[in-house]
Amino acid sequence: MRNVALRLKYDGSRYHGWQVQKNEITVAQTLEEALSKVCGHPVKTVGCGRTDAGVHALRYCANFRTDCRIPIDRFPLAVNARLPGDIAVTDAAEAPEDFNAIGSCIKKEYVYKIHNSSIRDPFLEKRVCFYPQALDMALMQRAARAFEGTHDFRAVRSVGTETKTTVRTVYWCRAEKEGELITVSICADGFLYNMCRAMVGTMVYASYGKLLPEEIPALLERGDRRLTGPTMPPQGLYLNRLWYDGPVGRMFMD
């Protein structure tokens, strides 16, 4: 059977995350229903990560197996004709037999967007976190840098999916501001449940003096979730970039 990898993007506002669930509409369920119609048989996808309810993806990878002989370049148009407007397949590639969208992923980058203004923008309501209190960018940037490197990140995860280890490597963590929009970019070899949102919450705490940026490494060592910042709302979070080897990697090069 063919192992087909898809590149897609979606607005997660009306979905209960990526993962198929019994009583909630999810991105995976919606995609699998469309793929099943295109392929003529039930399709089960493997996603590159579990995005939560309300979280978006600017780039996302999923793979599935099929004996359908549709040419690879026809998959995006065929599937999109059966998808709602808030999900789009943008490319497809023939993947190696052993490719797995989550297991083969080398690293990922998430971005978190904060609208830091005293006046909310109704057109951004489901796409950014509205935060009216003034945030100190210099302190946020110092806090962001404190997360970089290899650490045990259990102090910034929520109880959820169990993992073999809570040690991860953060390649970069940056905070930038343009006008009223703050964008935090976090790239790592993997992420724990709510890790990004808790990291941003800790950076927000640091930005108005609830903790010092230089305290963050010690807080990570202590591993106590109660001592770090809050888990930020989901609508500001986007899966932004993915890295793979081989033909799937070339599909995500831009």
- Asked whether the predicted pLDDT for residue 154 surpasses 70, the reply is yes
The residue-averaged pLDDT of 165-177 equals 96
pLDDT category of residue 23 using cuts at 50, 70 and 90: confident
Q: For residues 196 and 170, what is the distance between their CA atoms, to the nearest angstrom? A: 11
Helix axis angle, 195-207 relative to 137-146, nearest 10°?
140
Residue 250: C-alpha distances to residues 19, 75, 93, 243 (Å): 26, 17, 9, 9
Architecture of the domain defined by 2-104 = 2-Layer Sandwich (3.30)
Q: For the chain, give every domain's residue range.
A: 2-104, 107-240
The residue-averaged pLDDT of 117-128 equals 95
Percent of the chain beyond pLDDT 70?
99
The residue-averaged pLDDT of 8-23 equals 93
Specify the fold of 107-240: Alpha-Beta Plaits (3.30.70)
| Residue-level pLDDT at 161 | 67
The residue-averaged pLDDT of 22-38 equals 95
| Residue-level pLDDT at 159 | 76
- Asked whether the predicted pLDDT for residue 177 surpasses 90, the reply is yes
Please state the pTM of the whole predicted model. Answer: 0.94
The residue-averaged pLDDT of 201-212 equals 94
From the list 134, 129, 95, the residue with the least C-alpha distance to 115 is 129
pLDDT category of residue 215 using cuts at 50, 70 and 90: very high
Q: Give the three-state DSSP class for 246.
A: helix
- Tens digit of pLDDT for each residue in 132-147? 999 999 999 999 999 9
Catalytic residue among 11, 52, 67, 121: 52
- Asked whether the predicted pLDDT for residue 163 surpasses 90, the reply is no
Strand partners, 8: 60, 89
- Tens digit of pLDDT for each residue in 42-92? 999 999 998 899 999 999 999 999 999 999 999 999 999 999 999 999 999
- Tens digit of pLDDT for each residue in 97-108? 999 999 999 999
Q: For residues 96 and 5, what is the distance between their CA atoms, to the nearest angstrom? A: 9
- Asked whether the predicted pLDDT for residue 212 surpasses 80, the reply is yes
Rg of the chain over Cα atoms, rounded to whole angstroms, equals: 19
* Fold: same for 2-104 and 107-240: yes
> Active site includes 91?
no
